[in-house]
Amino acid sequence: MFDFFAAAVCLWAAAYYTPPGALIRGAIARLAGTHNTARPLLAYYSGGVYESQTIQTPLPLNLPLNLPQPGQLAAIPQGPAIGRGVFAAVHRGDSGQRQLTLALATRYSIDPALLDDAGRGPELYGVMIARARADLGSEDAAVLAIFVGYSAADFAAQRARAESRPLELQVLAQQLPPSERRAIDAASQALTLGTAYGLGWPVDPRTRVSSPFGYRNHPTLGRQQLHTGVDLAIPEGTAVAATAAGVVRRASEDAVNGRVVIIDHGRGVSTAYCHNSRLLVAVGQVINAGDLISESGNTGRSTGPHLHYQLELAHQPMDPFLFKSAHSVDALVLSAPKPVPPPTIPLVPVAPKKPNPKLLQALKAGGVDPAMQVLDGGIHAPDRQSPPNATEF
């Protein structure tokens, strides 16, 4: 009898824990005409904690279905990076998770009603995570506690410690049953977004953007193509810094990206720095935020000196400006940049517009040099709406 029970437990584990079990559950669901609750086969590997969204989206590459929309990401209030990430992720959870979040807030003497406050929410989440981190031992465990509750996160952390393994989300997720999968996905999203919000900027934050993220007419290929990063107009030889701590995954050269560095920051976040003239790091090297990793250049498929900076979350390219904040770049302001030389290739012709005379008058009255600020008849933030030029990739 007990042996039969042991066999039944083994079958239950195989059905919910292994890809062959998922295949069989899918086949049974299809035959019975019921909903298939099995995850995609590749999501059964622990590294899929940060990639489950990617693995679920079908090829060819689509925009991320589970991450918040770009407009929502940009609207997340200022605050600690991890607090912003949790604030962005927690609003997509269900009521059961919400109760656990509020219970954790009460545990740490935080008014639960203020968590939804646009002005204070991220800051309070940051406080909650800091206190939970002190109790549980890692930021991953603290964020997990927001979604699965303190007890379950504490249990997972204790099991991970007993196995002498790091308190990372992949390891903690293995200690919890399949019923906690949705909460674990929410925690992974919060950690991914929190890491992204904590990124700095590779060069002086005031550097002009010559080509933003998004669809555009490719300057050399002549077709509509997604520009998967931002082009920063800097002279050759400018020092480029890592935007966060991580491990160098690639430091190589090819005819398209030129001399390229790709850094894996963990939690599904990676950044790429292309067209460099000189690489200062090697594959496998562990680096800290702000470490110099290369000198910018004009290598690869490029029509002028610039840095192509690319951010990927769970293998999906994202606009780095959605996560750029005043707080995150303060630590990375480099020494005064060399003056940008005039472009050697003619600018894309733009029909000149007469500046608004009233605006000119207002600027002069305010002591602002109209020649530096007025573009197309209006004032533009210099790092967002520069006209396109031929240095873009």
**Which of 140/312 has CB closer to another protein?**
312
Q: How far is the CB of 331 from another protein (least distance, A)?
A: 26
Q: What is the distance between the alpha carbons of residues 334 and 336, in angstroms, rounded to a whole number? A: 6
**Which of 96/377 has CB closer to another protein?**
96
Q: How far is the CB of 202 from another protein (least distance, A)?
A: 18
Q: Would you tell me which residues interact with another protein (CB under 8 A)?
A: 2-4, 6-11, 13-21, 41-42, 44-48, 51, 54-55, 61, 151-152, 154-156, 158-159, 161-165, 174-177, 179-180, 249-250, 252-257, 262, 270, 283, 312, 315-316
**Which of 8/65 has CB closer to another protein?**
8
Q: How far is the CB of 345 from another protein (least distance, A)?
A: 22
**Which of 180/383 has CB closer to another protein?**
180
Q: How far is the CB of 261 from another protein (least distance, A)?
A: 11
Q: How far is the CB of 184 from another protein (least distance, A)?
A: 12
Q: How far is the CB of 240 from another protein (least distance, A)?
A: 19
**Which of 31/162 has CB closer to another protein?**
162
Q: How far is the CB of 301 from another protein (least distance, A)?
A: 9
**Which of 77/137 has CB closer to another protein?**
137
**Which of 142/160 has CB closer to another protein?**
160
